[in-house]
Structure 1
Amino acid sequence: MLEQVTVLQNDEVIRLDQDRLGALYDRLGPSGAEDVVCRAMEELAARLSQIDRDYRAAQWAELRKGARALAAIADQMGMATLARVGRDVTTCVDAGDRVALAAVLSRLFRSGERSLTAVWDMQGLTV
């Protein structure tokens, strides 16, 4: 009989490359950069949702495709953590490791939410 329960904390630091976002603002100006950032955030949120649906439907090829696209977008936006975790998802799919995939997907969804919130807060965007 187990008497001790260990609770794991999920306090991973989200890494945003502020220089990459700064370069985007320098290149496109405030209005153009905010438009690109908002569209990228919408696309990332949509991809996270689709990845979840693909996982629940056991659509492994589609899930892998979505994770690769998410990683590419996150990388372009300077979301290093999210990009890395997206690539980890593709590794799990390729290995056929469903247990690891479930764990990495949980991390992807946490990192995705935190990354989107961090960019939103950093940009001072309003709804």
Structure 2
Amino acid sequence: MDHITLLRPDEAVRLDSDQLGELYDQLGEAGAEDVVCRAMEELAARLTHAERLYRSEEQAEMRKNVRSLVGISEQIGMWSLARAAQNVINCIDAADRVALAATLARLLRIGEQSLSAVWDLQDLSI
């Protein structure tokens, strides 16, 4: 057993451009950009906070924090992020510490990729 395989999980993250387009239609360009920018700031802050709460074993507070990620990510069409956040909530509810560690790591990866995807999309002018 001298061979060690390093796994580098990577998932394709897609943004729902229809959802973003709807936001732009409803709020106009300036309004939608404001909503998207504020959502991205909130997502980044809440992802960081979720990790901090996990490390300090504050699962009730972590559940509330991650629950808010679901709503924010759905608002701007980040369905993969919303599903990953819901999976974290399910692990907290089931008191499954091993699955929680894995799903939180996945949530953080998808969160980072999703935030990058939104920035890339904004660079292309929706």
What TM-score results when the alignment is normalised by the length of structure 1? 0.93
Give the counterpart letter for 2:108 in structure 1: F
What do the CA deviations read for 1:23-75 (whole angstroms, capped 9, x no partner)?
A: 11111111111011000000111111110111011000011111111011101
Q: Provide the rounded CA distance (Å) in 1 between the counterparts of 2:51 and 2:7.
A: 23
> Once the 2 structures are TM-superposed, how far is the Cα of residue 114 of structure 1 from its aligned partner?
0.5
Q: Provide the rounded CA distance (Å) in 1 between the counterparts of 2:8 and 2:112.
A: 16
Give the counterpart letter for 2:24 in structure 1: Y
Unaligned segments of structure 2, at least 5 residues: none
Q: Which stretch shows the higher mean deviation, 3-12 or 72-81?
A: 3-12
Q: Provide the rounded CA distance (Å) in 2 between the counterparts of 1:10 and 1:52.
A: 18
Q: Secondary structure at the match of 2:53?
A: helix
Q: Provide the rounded CA distance (Å) in 1 between the counterparts of 2:117 and 2:76.
A: 12
Q: Provide the rounded CA distance (Å) in 1 between the counterparts of 2:6 and 2:56.
A: 30
Q: Provide the rounded CA distance (Å) in 2 between the counterparts of 1:75 and 1:122.
A: 17
In the other structure, the counterpart of 1:25 is: 24
Q: Secondary structure at the match of 1:9?
A: coil
> Once the 2 structures are TM-superposed, how far is the Cα of residue 85 of structure 1 from its aligned partner?
0.2
Give the counterpart letter for 2:60 in structure 1: A
Q: Provide the rounded CA distance (Å) in 2 between the counterparts of 1:73 and 1:39.
A: 10
1:60 maps onto 2:98 in alignment = no
In the other structure, the counterpart of 2:45 is: 46
Unaligned segments of structure 1, at least 5 residues: none
The size of the alignment, in residue pairs, is 124
> Once the 2 structures are TM-superposed, how far is the Cα of residue 122 of structure 1 from its aligned partner?
0.2
The equivalences for 1:1-127 within 5 A come to: 2-124=1-123
- Kindly report the root-mean-square deviation, in angstroms, between the aligned alpha carbons of the 2 structures: 1.1
Runs of 4 or more consecutive aligned structure 1 residues displaced over 6 Å after TM superposition: none
Q: Provide the rounded CA distance (Å) in 2 between the counterparts of 1:55 and 1:40.
A: 22
Give the counterpart letter for 2:63 in structure 1: R
Q: Provide the rounded CA distance (Å) in 2 between the counterparts of 1:16 and 1:76.
A: 11
Q: Percent identity, aligned pairs only?
A: 59
What TM-score results when the alignment is normalised by the length of structure 2? 0.94
> Once the 2 structures are TM-superposed, how far is the Cα of residue 15 of structure 1 from its aligned partner?
2.1
